[in-house]
Structures are given as C-alpha cells and as structure tokens.
Amino acid sequence: MAPGLVAGSAPGRGVGSAAGPSSEPAAEPAPGPGAESVPGPAPEPASTHAPVSTADTDPDARDRQAPAGWAEYHLPSLDLLPLPESERGLSEDEILERASLLERTLASFGVEATVVDFSFGPAVTRYELQPGPGVRVNKFTALADDIALALAATDVRVEAPIPGKSAVGIEVPNKERLAVPLREVLQSPEFLASTSKLTVALGKDNAGNPVVGDLARMPHLLIAGATGSGKSVCMNTLICSLLYKARPDEVKMLMIDPKMVELSMYNGIPHLMAPVVTDPRRAAGFLKGAVKEMESRYELFAALGVRNITQYNQLVRDNPGPDPDHPRRPLPYIVIFIDELADLMMVAPADVEDAICRLAQMARACGIHLVIATQSPRVDVITGLIKANIPSRIAFAVSSQVDSRVILDAAGAERLLGRGDMLYHPAGLPKPIRAQGAYISEASVEKLVQFVKAQGRPEYTAQEVPLENGGRRGRNGTYGPQAAQEAAAPQSAVDEALPEAARIIIEHGHASVSLLQRRLRCNYTKAVRLIDQLEEMGFIGPHQGSKPREVLATMAKWHEVFGDRAGGPRPPAE
C-alpha cells in the first residue's frame, strides 16, 4: 500500500460516516459571492424544536420592526422535516483497496502516481494523487475511461489539478450513494450562523461538508440539467431554505412555472407576490413588471441618497420618516424563480431575454434576484446575453459535453451520476464544486407549506406589464410596435434577406444559425426563421443535432429561384 495514503488515514477520519474524511481539519467554505463563510464557531442549537432564526447572531434582528400583520409570524420548526437516517458508508479497508487498485492501474499505463489522501462524500470518493517526476497531468484525463473500467465504476471524473493543491483528484462513485436530507444542512453551523435572509442550503461536497450559498452574493443563479437529474428538487430546497430563514415581509417570491406542476404546491404561501404564474405570455409580462419595480426602487434610493437595499433598510430602521401614522417600511428582497426557461423563450424570446438581462445587470443592489432553471441547456435557450449576466451556475447531469459547456463553459457535467449529483460554480471561484444536492420529499414540502400558510395570506403586489402585440412576433424577429404593424400585414412570400442567406450557405458549404447571424448581422430569431425557410425550399437538409445542416442546392438553383437578386455570381457555363 502506498505510504502516502497510510499516512493520510490518521486517527480521526470518520470513514464510515457521511462527514468527509480528511487528514486536515475540515476546511471552511471559501468566502466568496456564492458561499457563506462562518465567522468563528457557531453555537449549537439547544433543541431542534426551535425554529431556524438569526436572533441570537444578528443584534439588529430584535429591533427590526415588522409590519403589524407579521409581528407574530413564527419561522418553521425543523421538526416539520424528518430526522436524518444513519447510513453506512465505505469502510476504510474498501477505500484503501480501491486506492491500491487505482495506483496499479495507472502504473500499467506508465503513469507513476501515489495516492496521498482521500475524501469521502455522499456520492463519490475523491482520491488525491501525487504525480511522479515528469508525469503530465493531462495523462490522467486521457485515462478516465480506463480507470473506470479497472474500478468497475459507472464513470469517473478527473480534476487535474485540484485548485490550491499540487495533486490530481480522481472522483470515483460510491457503490451505495448516501442521501443528504435538507434538515441535515439546515441545522448545520454554516446555515445557522448566516445572518443573510437569502441563505440557501444546497447539499454536501465531496468531503461531506455542508454547501451553503447566499443569493445576495451570487447574485443570480442558473440551474440546468437533463430530465430526472435533480433540478426540480434543487428548486424545492432553495425555496424551502428561504421559508426557514425569512418572514414574508423580509423576502417575497415570484414563481413562474410553465409546466404547471412543479411549483403549484406553493400557491397561497404569504411570501408570494402573485399566484404561481403558468402562462408563458403572462410570465413575460410579470418579468417586465419586475423591471418596473427595479426602476421604482432605484428612484426611491436616489431620492434618499442611498446606494442599495441594505443602506435603505438601515436608514428606514433608524428614521421611519416624518409621518408617524405612515412610517417608511423596509423593502423586502424579491426572488424570482423560473422553473423552465425554454418554454418562455419559445413564446416571447425577445421580451423574456430583455427583461432577464436588465434584471441580471442591475437588480442586485435593489434586492431582486433571479433563480432560473431549464432542462434544455441549448444556446437558443441559454443565450450568450443571459449567460454573461448570470455568474453563478449549478449543472446537474447532462447528455453531452456540448451541453456542459453551455452551462459551465467547461466539460464535466456529462460525467455526473444524476439524482442530485451536481457541479456548483459560484461567482468568484475558479472551478466548480462537486456536491450531492440536498433532498426534501413532497410530503415534507406539503407540511412546511401548510405551516406557513396557516400564519397569513399573501398580498399580491406584483406588476404585470402587458406585452406589445400580445407577444406575437413580427417578420423582423422583434416584439413591439413594429411587430404589431407587421402582424397585421400579410407575410411576404420571400424574406428580403433570404436570397443573400441562400447565397451565403451555398458559398460556405454548410448552414447554421450562427453563420447567418455573423454574415447578415441579424438577431437569433431572424436567423432561425431564414434557416427554416431555406429548409422548406429544399436548399438545406434537416436538423442534425450539433452538426451544421447539409447544403443541398447549388448556385444554379439559386439563380433559378432568385434570378439576379443580391448580386450573386453567375453559375459556371456548361
């Protein structure tokens, strides 16, 4: 057995428990935009019967004035959630046996490496290897499939190198995956010590340490993964975390659920600004209403000379205003949950993209945050503008490396195991964190929702801005007054840009939306429409996944269809 590993397995390693083994003291999560740092040791709760509260850690919490309707509001008790069941992990002998097999497998391919440490997580065990002299780290990545075969594992993920360490990490799936109940993360010191009302429980990392985030620091979150990968459960854990952390006057939520079944159970909770929105066109209107709310908040901040919601709420607590009968009230944070972005982008892409981008660029300081989920991580759903303005990402298992790059700008999500296995990449960290997402059952969600609903009714204050032209698209791919005029006029049989688009794809020998966007300098919607028209006319073949479409026409056909328009070259004389 490798001496490095034996030295690493010193007394104190809880190998058989979900708490991660490590030869070093458990590291605090790195403070940054996506993770909560814990200021010193947090006191353990005296009893799990007490609600999750920050009254003991936040001196201003007792003085914070709540509206009369919520003065007696009680945060939920952890007793509403089931106790975590004790589960057995891998024994130390099993881990050491795998480590020895891993070293022998690498040696058989001429790669000298020594396992110097390991960490046991709920879903995977990560082995840390010290490469021998002259061994290139890319050799480990190239051998991922061979390592999986030798260890009889479904898949392995190689992290070369581990950030902050001169070692390579090889993550091997556990034979029996351990569940991470939401209650286990909610009662962790990391969650209890956080004073932010936007603290959310995400799961546990590869070392068994709780992964806790703060939406105020993220400040927006994009979640993507294939069907059944754990995306909807993650949304539930985020919402329930906020219900455990904040009163209705502290955090408001706007939920958009085009699938109509994922978030409907939250209808009626007092934190809602509007009933759960299921119509994609109305959802686009509510997003535009959120932009109006953002603008009105900034006008209020400018009038009072403050820069953000934190300064405004502090000012209001110190000086409620000249009229004691109508004092100023602190503004609540607003979290907008969108469960399926793809459905919205199909109905009103321009309005949705514009509203999301404006909110993502400007809304953080006024306390409005976005949590967007999709099971279709394609470039026409997660556009470049949306991705550029949402820095924090969670990727669940996807089917291809292309999808992983759309979400994370890197490969890796295609090797995840599904069922909550995720890569969490908060803003500010160089590489994503692998974690097992927290789990909460539908029955537990129902109990929590009933407890919250019993304490008050929602006040629906969200604005809905009607879409111009009812959300219909004009011929130029836009939505607005010009689109309304075009919708009333008959559609021309041939788009003005169609001859030029046909000439471009014939000259290049392939057809793609991005090619037409670059050469014609048009928006995505117009390029898609041109591609569809060219397919109907027989110029190009059908969609072939990520491959460019095949060009079926020649310049002779171009002249036959379009004549001398767009100045295309003459076909060669026969």
Contact 345, 380 (CB under 8 A): yes
- Is 229 marked as binding a ligand? yes
Q: Which domains does the chain have, with CATH numbers?
A: 1-29+88-177 (3.30.980.40), 182-463 (3.40.50.300), 493-567 (1.10.10.10)
DSSP 3-state assignment of 149? helix
Q: Phi first, then psi: what are they for 369, rounded to 5°? A: -130, 150
How many other C-beta atoms can be found within 10 angstroms of the C-beta atom of residue 25? 7
pLDDT at residue 564, rounded to an integer: 56
Give the confidence band of 2 by pLDDT, cuts at 50, 70, 90: very low
**Spatial separation of the C-alpha atoms in residues 434 and 278, rounded to whole Å:** 32
- Is 404 marked as binding a ligand? no
Report pLDDT digits (tens) over 173-192. 988 888 899 999 999 999 99
Q: 251: closest CA among 196, 321, 327, 207?
A: 196
Report pLDDT digits (tens) over 81-140. 998 776 666 677 888 888 999 999 999 999 999 999 988 889 889 999 999 898 888 899
Q: 429: closest CA among 32, 29, 159?
A: 32
Report the DSSP beta bridge partners of residue 126.
Answer: 119, 171
Report the DSSP beta bridge partners of residue 224.
Answer: 374, 395
Report pLDDT digits (tens) over 295-341. 999 999 999 999 999 999 999 988 887 777 777 889 999 999 999 89
Contact 80, 452 (CB under 8 A): no
Contact 435, 211 (CB under 8 A): yes
Residues in the chain: 574
Whole-number mean pLDDT of the chain?
81
Report pLDDT digits (tens) over 410-435. 888 988 988 899 999 998 888 899 99
Mean per-residue pLDDT for 431-449? 93
- The first and second tokens of residue 125, run together, are 């065990």
What b/e sequence results for 39-74 when a residue is b if at least 16 CB atoms lie within 10 Å of its CB, and e otherwise? Answer: eeebeebeeeeeebebeeeeeeeeeeeeeeeeeebe
- Range scoring the smallest mean pLDDT among 30-44, 58-72, 320-334: 30-44
- Is 225 marked as binding a ligand? yes
Report pLDDT digits (tens) over 212-223. 999 999 999 999
- Is 232 marked as binding a ligand? yes
- Is 512 marked as binding a ligand? no
Mean per-residue pLDDT for 49-75? 53
Look at residue 472 and tell me whether its pLDDT is greater than 50. no
**Residues near 110 by beta carbon (within 8 Å), at least 6 away in sequence:** none
- The first and second tokens of residue 5, run together, are 């590993």
Q: 553: closest CA among 537, 570, 530, 573?
A: 537
Look at residue 30 and tell me whether its pLDDT is greater than 90. no
Provide the phi-psi class of 99: left if phi over 0, else alpha when psi is between -120 and 50, else beta. Answer: alpha
- Is 230 marked as binding a ligand? yes
